[in-house]
């Protein structure tokens, strides 16, 4: 417990408090009068309202579209499942600039929908909502699917034997068991969409603005720290309220469940309903996720001299005039991997410790800490980045120009993922198993290794995959932290897109494709992480 | 928490620290620290925005001349990078800051970011860009023009003459052709807005924008989107089937289009409407509280040396300020000469910027 608390205190609470404090504390007095002033502005009120409702709508839509996907990935076996599960996580790592491009190809002028039915959705709120689904589909599939695949199907079967109908059995047995992870997924999607930045800007156009955008502008553009501080606190309050609702929903819902090895729960689809579900989910995945990605891949091969690897070859060479980078752009792959590995290690260790501590439920304090862990998802990157700048500038923590700051900032987003993915599984572990192990003379560490670890291993691999993906695609923190010139993949893509010329555009597309492949391969490798022995059922 | 669990946590924490240390060992620290140097630090740190670029050869040249190695820190876009320096005033992240332009200059000077220093060779720099000639808190390094670019092929196919001035853009023959960036979030967007204010004055610009709006101007968020998605003259735009042949970009964009094509075309695919330009001047300054003041001064001298000035155009696509620095052939052949760019005084911008952007947003975007 002490470790994660210290981590959050130093790298989150302290920097954010410092930057907010600087905004509200002027000329030696606290300026609480600023609240009324800022919140009284009609444009700010509009922004608040829009931020909230688009996040709610996006969350609802994502759950609606992704829950069947979670079921299919958890319970059905079909060829290419593992690959597809890695691919649906790919959108998560793409820089928004690139997603904008991909989505315009789907929704914009001459896009797929335009060709088929003459519908153009760009610069409408629909584009924003669909893009949020595109980004967060994997969040639901991974968080909910991680638990679902380990629920013992025989419990539902037992209910059926006792005379419950198929639906009733599902509603009475499976649904209650899933509530915590569905709530967790909904919470994460809400926090992500509530603090959405690039999607809203690129697909919605300048007419739409969220709180996150407003905070960014007040901080980074106008340096109006008081207004930014007020908005940050408003964001805090909103996120806090959502966290409270979430805690209230989940409390007393988390109970010991019978968990089994996922390999045994998935079956080949049988019956019309399951085939229909599978077909429906695959169609959704293809249209919503694969088509936009395919557009990018296609453009990366589409050179003026016909289709070929021209742009990819260019990536390996240094621009003779100096240009964007002093190194071949392909070096960005290694930078990204290095950051991602470090961030994943930090996230897994800190998140694992936090989850272990939270499993042993102990009153209000712990629950408060649980909520606290989620806060970084709901605080804007610019606030954290600028907070780092004014707090981590003195030894022993003079980290401003240190490379470790980037993975640390990314781990702030990675840790909540790890906790949220592991907690439902850990809490479902029957306490008596641990007690039995203790009675048989195992030390707590040994008991954890023998009892908890085999059960959470899959969830942990899922969580690690997520932390990895977050870091790989993370753009916010890397932009707000000044760094020596070793660009990560998303930064390199953004930089290439930031200059004219067909070669730059082509290389940006090629680098985006490489980013997707790196992400998919890394996730596939993580999925393969298996212990020597498959745990026997408990 | 019971004591046994605490022990487990401690074990894990030690492991975590181990991981971090290992990661750090695997990290890069290529600081070649020349040991035994009693002459102060041998590294000079340049803080800049993300667009800073210089060729390796030129940075090596600086080291050969002065003995200092340059470390470049990139700190976000121009506005963000400057605001970070203001926030960390007195405890700066580096020695020299590059990338304050005339739209932000007053903010930098009002916050006393810089220690005055008259760079060697300033007499070679054009007078009209020396906006702080009295005190030398900042040194001008480059200029660039934000102008409307047009898609040559589109206008040739239509047999229509491309627009040349701000007034042309509001004419009916150019209806639904122009895409601009959001002045609130993009520096070319702000530059174009300031250009219209320079042209039509503080009382007339809103009327002009009303005309543009009636003529179907489209506003998108940033340059990347405007240029790569909406502008029919760019590679991305062609692939996306873009239908806007006019975009707010830079006077240097056409030469860059040529530079980054294979094979290089004889003619740039895009042209510049030279009567729609706003001039940006970029400055550098010695940060107050710099750890290596001597190195910082040497770097400022170097930034306005002929060597660096002639290296800049092909790296940052800007124009040199030193009068005898030669432009590369690419620029003389494909670049546009902007005779009379619009300017607005730096302190006028500082006073009204936020108000202008707000009125512009409610007028054009909402």
pLDDT tens-digit map of B174-226: 999 999 999 988 889 999 999 999 999 999 999 999 999 999 999 998 898 89
| CB-facing half-sphere around the CA of B4: CA atoms within 13 A | 9
pLDDT band, residue A83 (cuts 50/70/90): confident
* Contact criterion met (CB < 8 Å) for A310 and B93: no
* Contact criterion met (CB < 8 Å) for A104 and B234: no
Q: What was the pLDDT predicted at A531? A: 37
Q: Judging by DSSP bridges, how do beta strands B114-115 and B270-287 pair with one another?
A: antiparallel
pLDDT of A177 over the 50 cut = yes
**Closest chain A residue to B46 measured between Cα atoms?**
A484
Asked, for residue B1, whether it belongs to a domain, the answer is no
**Closest chain B residue to A347 measured between Cα atoms?**
B16
How close, in Å, is residue B158 to chain A by CA atoms? 21
Candidates B83, B85, B232, B356, partner chain A, best to mutate (most A CBs within 10 A): B83
CATH code for the domain of B125: 3.40.190.10
pLDDT of A258 over the 80 cut = no
Asked, for residue B309, whether it belongs to a domain, the answer is yes
* Cβ–Cβ under 8 Å, residues A512 and A496: no
Q: In angstroms, rounded to a whole number, what is the distance separating the alpha carbons of residues B25 and B22? A: 5
- Number of folded domains that form chain B: 1
Range of lowest pLDDT (A27-36, A148-157, A253-262, B34-43): B34-43
* Contact criterion met (CB < 8 Å) for A393 and B224: no
**Closest chain A residue to B75 measured between Cα atoms?**
A482
Which residues of A are less than 8 Å from B242 in CB distance? Answer: 109
**Closest chain A residue to B242 measured between Cα atoms?**
A109
pLDDT of A364 over the 80 cut = no
Range of lowest pLDDT (A46-50, B31-35, B172-176, B298-302): B31-35
The CATH class given to the A1-29+42-532 domain equals mainly alpha
* Minimum-distance CB partner of B314 among A109, A322, A403: A322
Instruction: Enter the pTM of the model.
Output: 0.85
Alpha carbon distances (Å) from A138 to A93, A469, B242: 11, 11, 31
pLDDT in tens, A463-520: 888 888 888 887 766 667 767 777 888 888 888 888 888 998 899 899 989 988 888 8
Output the six-digit token pair for A485: 């010139």
* Contact criterion met (CB < 8 Å) for B262 and A304: yes
Question: What number is the average pLDDT over the span B261-267?
Answer: 90
Candidates A500, A504, A505, A507, partner chain B, best to mutate (most B CBs within 10 A): A500
* Contact criterion met (CB < 8 Å) for B249 and A500: yes
Q: What was the pLDDT predicted at A253? A: 59
Q: In angstroms, rounded to a whole number, what is the distance separating the alpha carbons of residues A331 and A337? A: 10
Q: What was the pLDDT predicted at A325? A: 61
Candidates B16, B17, B249, partner chain A, best to mutate (most A CBs within 10 A): B16
**Closest chain A residue to B71 measured between Cα atoms?**
A484
Which residues of A are less than 8 Å from B74 in CB distance? Answer: 482-483, 485
* Minimum-distance CB partner of B262 among A205, A349, A503: A503
How close, in Å, is residue A485 to chain B by CA atoms? 7
Provide the number of CB pairs (under 8 Å) joining chain A to chain B. 216
pLDDT of B2 over the 80 cut = no
Candidates A105, A127, A206, A317, partner chain B, best to mutate (most B CBs within 10 A): A206
B86 touches A: beta carbon within 8 Å: yes
Q: Judging by DSSP bridges, how do beta strands B270-287 and B218-220 pair with one another?
A: unpaired
* Contact criterion met (CB < 8 Å) for B260 and A357: no
How close, in Å, is residue A408 to chain B by CA atoms? 10
Beta partners for B286? B96, B115
Asked, for residue B272, whether it belongs to a domain, the answer is yes
Could you give the angle at which helices A125-148 and A81-89 cross, rounded to 10 degrees?
130
Percent of chain B with pLDDT over 90: 69
Range of lowest pLDDT (A5-19, B9-23, B29-43, B77-91): B9-23
Q: Judging by DSSP bridges, how do beta strands B139-151 and B246-250 pair with one another?
A: antiparallel
pLDDT of A249 over the 70 cut = yes
> Do you know the residue count of chain B?
366
* Minimum-distance CB partner of A445 among B8, B47, B53: B8
Phi, psi of B282 (to 5 degrees): -105, 140
Output the six-digit token pair for A277: 């579900």
pLDDT mean across residues, chain A:
83
Portion 168-227 of B in contact with A at CB < 8 A: 182, 184-185, 219-225, 227
Residue A195: helix, strand or coil by DSSP? coil
Alpha carbon distances (Å) from B110 to A434, B82, B287, B329: 64, 12, 14, 40
* Cβ–Cβ under 8 Å, residues A193 and A58: yes
B28 touches A: beta carbon within 8 Å: yes
* Contact criterion met (CB < 8 Å) for B259 and A501: yes
Which residue is it, tokens 């002093």? A326
Q: In angstroms, rounded to a whole number, what is the distance separating the alpha carbons of residues A294 and A315? A: 20
* Cβ–Cβ under 8 Å, residues B198 and B343: yes
Q: What was the pLDDT predicted at B349? A: 93
Portion 309-328 of B in contact with A at CB < 8 A: 311, 314-315, 317
Question: What number is the average pLDDT over the span B276-304?
Answer: 96
* Contact criterion met (CB < 8 Å) for A1 and B87: no
Q: What was the pLDDT predicted at A477? A: 66
Portion 39-58 of B in contact with A at CB < 8 A: 45, 47, 50-51, 53-58
Produce one character per residue of B201-230: b if its CB has 16 or more CB atoms within 10 Å, e if not. eeeebbebbeebeebebbbbbbbbbbbbbb
* Minimum-distance CB partner of B74 among A202, A360, A482: A482
Which residues of A are less than 8 Å from B271 in CB distance? Answer: none
Which position has the higher pLDDT, A32 or A412? A412
Question: What number is the average pLDDT over the span A375-402?
Answer: 82
* Cβ–Cβ under 8 Å, residues A475 and A490: yes
B24 touches A: beta carbon within 8 Å: yes
* Contact criterion met (CB < 8 Å) for B240 and A110: yes
- Count Cβ atoms below 10 Å from residue A412 Cβ, excluding itself: 28
Q: What was the pLDDT predicted at A534? A: 36
DSSP notation for A153-176: HHHHHHHHHTT--HHHHIIIIIHH
pLDDT of A156 over the 90 cut = no
Percent of chain A with pLDDT over 70: 91
pLDDT in tens, B126-161: 999 999 988 999 999 999 999 999 999 999 999 999
B17 touches A: beta carbon within 8 Å: no
Output the six-digit token pair for B179: 């895409």
Candidates B84, B247, B330, partner chain A, best to mutate (most A CBs within 10 A): B84
Owning domain of residue B356: 7-365
pLDDT of B307 over the 80 cut = yes
Domain boundaries, chain A: 1-29+42-532
Q: Which of B81, B68, B32 is nearest to B287 (CA)?
A: B81
pLDDT in tens, A272-327: 888 999 999 999 998 888 888 898 899 899 988 889 898 998 888 776 555 556 66
Output the six-digit token pair for A186: 């909904």
Q: What was the pLDDT predicted at B10? A: 45
**Closest chain B residue to A477 measured between Cα atoms?**
B76
Which residue is it, tokens 């793409």? A94
């Amino acid at each position: 417990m002490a470790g994660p608390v210290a981590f959050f205190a130093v790298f989150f609470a302290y920097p954010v408090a410092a930057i907010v404090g600087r905004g509200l504390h002027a000329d030696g007095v606290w300026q609480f009068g600023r609240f009324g002033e800022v919140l009284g502005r009609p444009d700010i009120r509009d922004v608040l309202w829009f931020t909230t409702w688009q996040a709610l709508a996006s969350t609802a839509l994502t759950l609606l579209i992704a829950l069947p996907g979670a079921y299919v990935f958890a319970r059905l076996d079909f060829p290419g499942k593992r690959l597809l599960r890695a691919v649906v996580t790919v959108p998560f790592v793409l820089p928004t600039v690139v997603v904008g491009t991909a989505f315009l190809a789907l929704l914009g002028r001459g896009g797929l929908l335009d060709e088929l039915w003459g519908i153009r959705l760009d610069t409408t709120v629909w584009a924003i909502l669909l893009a949020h689904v595109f980004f967060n589909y994997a969040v639901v599939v991974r968080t909910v699917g991680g638990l679902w695949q380990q629920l013992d199907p025989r419990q539902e079967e037992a209910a059926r034997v006792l005379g419950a109908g198929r639906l009733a059995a599902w509603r009475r047995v499976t649904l209650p068991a899933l509530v915590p992870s569905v709530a967790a997924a909904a919470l994460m999607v809400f926090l992500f969409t509530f603090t959405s930045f690039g999607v809203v800007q690129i697909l919605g156009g300048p007419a739409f603005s969220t709180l996150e955008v407003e905070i960014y502008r007040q901080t980074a553009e106008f340096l109006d720290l008081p207004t930014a501080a007020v908005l940050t606190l408003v964001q805090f309050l909103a996120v806090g309220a959502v966290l409270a609702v979430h805690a209230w929903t989940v409390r007393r819902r988390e109970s010991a469940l019978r968990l089994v090895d996922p390999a045994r729960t998935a079956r080949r689809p049988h019956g019309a309903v399951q085939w229909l579900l599978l077909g429906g989910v695959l169609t959704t995945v293809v249209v919503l996720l694969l088509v936009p990605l395919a557009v990018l891949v296609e453009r990366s091969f589409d050179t003026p001299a016909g289709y070929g690897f021209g742009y990819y070859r260019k990536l390996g060479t240094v621009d003779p005039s100096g240009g964007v980078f002093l190194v071949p752009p392909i070096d960005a792959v290694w930078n990204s991997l290095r950051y991602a590995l470090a961030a994943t290690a930090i996230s897994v260790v800190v998140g694992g410790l936090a989850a272990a501590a939270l499993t042993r439920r102990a009153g209000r304090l712990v629950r408060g800490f649980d909520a606290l862990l989620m806060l970084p998802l709901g605080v804007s990157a610019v606030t954290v980045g600028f907070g780092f700048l004014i707090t981590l500038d003195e030894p022993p923590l003079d980290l401003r120009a240190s490379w470790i700051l980037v993975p640390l900032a990314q781990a702030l987003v990675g840790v909540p993922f790890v906790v949220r993915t592991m907690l439902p599984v850990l809490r479902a572990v029957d306490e008596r198993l641990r007690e039995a192990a203790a009675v048989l003379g195992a030390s707590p560490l040994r008991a954890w290794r023998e009892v908890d670890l085999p059960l959470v291993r899959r969830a942990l691999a899922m969580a690690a995959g997520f932390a990895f993906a977050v870091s790989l695609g993370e753009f916010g923190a890397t932009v707000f932290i000044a760094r020596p010139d070793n660009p990560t993949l998303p930064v390199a893509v953004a930089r290439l897109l930031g200059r004219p010329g067909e070669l730059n555009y082509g290389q940006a597309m090629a680098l985006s494709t490489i980013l997707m492949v790196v992400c998919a391969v890394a996730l596939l490798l993580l999925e393969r992480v298996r212990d020597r022995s498959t745990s026997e059922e408990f | 928490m019971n004591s046994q669990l605490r022990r487990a946590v401690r074990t894990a924490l030690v492991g975590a620290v181990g991981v971090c240390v290992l990661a750090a060992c695997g990290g890069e620290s290529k600081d070649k620290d020349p040991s035994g140097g009693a002459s102060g630090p041998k590294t000079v740190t340049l803080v800049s925005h993300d667009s800073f670029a210089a060729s390796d050869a030129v940075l090596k040249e600086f080291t050969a001349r002065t003995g200092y190695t340059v470390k470049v820190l990139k700190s976000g876009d121009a506005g963000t990078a400057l605001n970070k320096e203001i926030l960390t005033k007195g405890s700066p992240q580096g020695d020299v800051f590059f990338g304050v332009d005339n739209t932000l200059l007053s903010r930098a000077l009002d916050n006393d970011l810089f220690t005055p220093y008259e760079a060697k060779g300033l007499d070679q720099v054009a007078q009209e860009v020396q906006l702080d000639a009295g005190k030398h808190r900042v040194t001008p390094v480059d200029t660039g023009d934000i102008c409307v670019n047009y898609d040559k092929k589109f206008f040739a196919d239509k047999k229509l003459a491309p627009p040349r001035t701000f007034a042309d853009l509001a004419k009916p023959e150019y209806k639904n052709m122009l895409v601009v960036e959001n002045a609130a979030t993009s520096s070319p967007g702000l530059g174009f807005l300031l250009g219209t204010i320079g042209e039509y004055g503080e009382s007339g610009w809103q009327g002009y924008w009303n005309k543009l709006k009636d003529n179907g101007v489209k506003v998108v968020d940033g340059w990347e989107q405007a240029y790569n998605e909406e502008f029919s003259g760019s590679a991305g735009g062609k692939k996306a089937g873009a239908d806007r042949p006019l975009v707010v970009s830079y006077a240097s964009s056409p030469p860059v289009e040529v530079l980054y094509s294979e094979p290089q075309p004889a003619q740039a695919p895009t042209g510049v409407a030279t009567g729609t330009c706003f001039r940006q001047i970029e400055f550098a300054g010695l940060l107050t509280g710099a750890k290596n003041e001597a190195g910082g001064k040497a770097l400022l001298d170097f930034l306005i040396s002929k060597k660096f000035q002639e290296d800049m155009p092909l790296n940052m696509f800007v124009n040199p300020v030193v009068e005898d620095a030669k432009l590369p052939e690419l620029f003389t052949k494909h670049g546009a000469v902007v005779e009379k760019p619009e300017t607005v005084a730096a302190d006028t911008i500082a006073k009204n910027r936020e108000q202008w952007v707000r009125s512009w947003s409610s007028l054009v975007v909402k």
